[in-house]
Amino acid sequence: GEQVRLTCAARSHPAPIVTLARGRRVVAAAVYEPQVTLEVAAAAPEDAGEYLCRAENQHGESSLAFN
């Protein structure tokens, strides 16, 4: 029931597209911004699981999974 804030950030030139996904579903995205934040007002057990932070631009991509 507590508030949870997840932030996914990356630096690149040119600026990246940053996404935060849970499973195959993108839950937050920022286009040409250095970070994206997802806020869950009241976290519940069904919010648990693996999330994927991904940053990409025309030169490549990088990602990091976390629980």
Residue 57's pLDDT is 96
Q: Tell me how far apart the terminal alpha carbons of the chain are, to the nearest angstrom.
A: 17
Name the residue type at position 1.
G
Rg (CA), the chain: 12
Residue 7's pLDDT is 96
The DSSP 8-state label assigned to residue 15 in this structure reads P
Residue 22's pLDDT is 95
Name the residue type at position 4.
V
Q: How confident is the prediction along the chain (67 residues), in pLDDT tens digits per residue? A: 899 999 999 999 999 999 999 999 999 999 999 999 999 999 999 999 999 999 999 999 999 999 9
Whether residue 57 contacts residue 15, with contact meaning beta carbons closer than 8 Å, is answered with yes
Residue 44 CA to its chain's centroid (Å): 19
